[in-house]
Amino acid sequence: MKAITLNSFGGPDAFELRDVPRPAPGAGQVLVRVHATSINPLDYQVRRGDYRDHVPLPAITGHDVSGVVEEVGAGVTAFVPGDEVWYTPRIFDGPGSYAEYHVADESIVGKKPASLSHLEAASLTLVGGTAWEALAVRAQLRAGESILIHGGAGGVGHVAIQVAKAIGARVFTTARSEQFEFVRGLGADVVIDYRNEDHVEVVMRETAGEGVDVIFDTIGGDTLSRAPDVLAQLGRVVTIVDTAQPQNLVQAWGKNASYHFVFTRQNRGKLDELGALVERGQLRPHVGATYSLADIPLAHARLESRDSGLRGKIAIAVVPPAHADARQPRA
């Protein structure tokens, strides 16, 4: 089968399109024909070597699968060949999704929502699981609360806006002015042009000095340092980004704040929750661009460039959608 392999840590040219043996499912596993995958910041962090101790080379990387079950191993009960499925492969534990076939334990695999194309489904597994874990599980965002989402036009951010609205929260988000229409369309109530406005001033004015109940940080650095300035008493901060910059937390103490650090974890339960939101029409991933398996290096370069024209996710059509998938992504 074709696969994109990572042969050394470095830039996008560290990837190579190769023929490799097709894997076979063991007991409790499914073999999936990968129709689509997608690109996340985690993907280029892995590629450049941020997690080199956890990634033996050469490696097939990639963290999203949408596809069709081709074959099942002994003892598999939840799936049969032909089932459409979606999932995030185990992180740092076996091959990833940049390949024509992938093997996974059935316990981490979910049934793909029928209303999503493979490109859309593959654009949602990792970012959707992360947003759900951050907002619903860790911060326990509730109806009637307010949330500030840093980076609402991004891969995780654009899903987080929709999840927060589905929960019933009032959503503040930072974005660039050219992304305003996009994030408003997703349901954001107050949009802050972070390049020309101070987000602390805007939030404190709009909340009559109370601050927000929850902050979801997909950006990092100063956004985390300034969190206590914009947080209500007993507020919660959830961050999914590297927090190596030392933080003075004395203001967090005065606010009785909670900080939740979320590194990716995956399970079928989260996929089912996301699927239910999709089927109720409350969540739809936005595919901002589509590349082929061979063009994954270009897709990486595009995401890393922080292209302000990009909305939502970059999807990878492993099976060209004209053949496998009648639905077209909303580009």
Residue 250 binds a second copy (CB under 8 A): yes
| Range 169-208, binding a second copy (CB under 8 A) | none
> What is the nearest approach in angstroms of a second copy to the Cβ of residue 49?
16
Residue 93 binds a second copy (CB under 8 A): no
- How far is 316 from 123, CA to CA, in rounded Å? 9
**Which residue among 252, 295, 324, 330 contacts a second copy (CB under 8 A)?**
252
Span from 57-65, 71-79, 114-122, 241-249 in contact with a second copy (CB under 8 A): 241-249
- How far is 163 from 325, CA to CA, in rounded Å? 26
289 contact partners, CB below 8 Å, separation of at least 6:
299, 302, 310, 314, 315, 331
Residue 24 binds a second copy (CB under 8 A): no
Span from 31-39, 96-104, 149-157, 236-244 in contact with a second copy (CB under 8 A): 236-244
Structure tokens at 125: 């597994």
Comparison of 228 and 285: residue with beta carbon closer to a second copy:
228
- How far is 252 from 237, CA to CA, in rounded Å? 10
> What is the nearest approach in angstroms of a second copy to the Cβ of residue 128?
17
**Which residue among 90, 260, 268, 330 contacts a second copy (CB under 8 A)?**
260
119 contact partners, CB below 8 Å, separation of at least 6:
36, 38, 66, 287, 290, 315, 317, 321, 325, 327, 329
**Which residue among 10, 261, 279, 305 contacts a second copy (CB under 8 A)?**
261
Residue 239 binds a second copy (CB under 8 A): yes
Asked whether the beta carbons of 129 and 266 are under 8 A apart, the reply is yes
Residue 255 binds a second copy (CB under 8 A): yes
Query: How many other CB atoms are found less than 10 A from the CB of residue 130?
Result: 26
Span from 57-65, 145-153, 158-166, 251-259 in contact with a second copy (CB under 8 A): 251-259
Structure tokens at 1: 């089968």
- What is the pattern of x (binds a second copy, CB under 8 A) and - over residues 107-146? -------------------------------x--------
Comparison of 260 and 330: residue with beta carbon closer to a second copy:
260
Structure tokens at 297: 């290096």
Q: Phi and psi of 15, rounded to 5°? A: -85, 150
Radius of gyration of the chain (CA): 20
Residue 45 binds a second copy (CB under 8 A): no
Query: How many other CB atoms are found less than 10 A from the CB of residue 93?
Result: 8
Span from 4-12, 36-44, 260-268, 306-314 in contact with a second copy (CB under 8 A): 260-268
Comparison of 243 and 282: residue with beta carbon closer to a second copy:
243
**Which residue among 13, 16, 242, 272 contacts a second copy (CB under 8 A)?**
242
Q: What is the DSSP letter of 18?
A: E
Sequence letter at residue 300:
H
- The H or E element spanning position 169 is none
Residue 40 binds a second copy (CB under 8 A): no
Positions in the binding site for a second copy (CB under 8 A)? 138, 239, 242-250, 252-263, 265
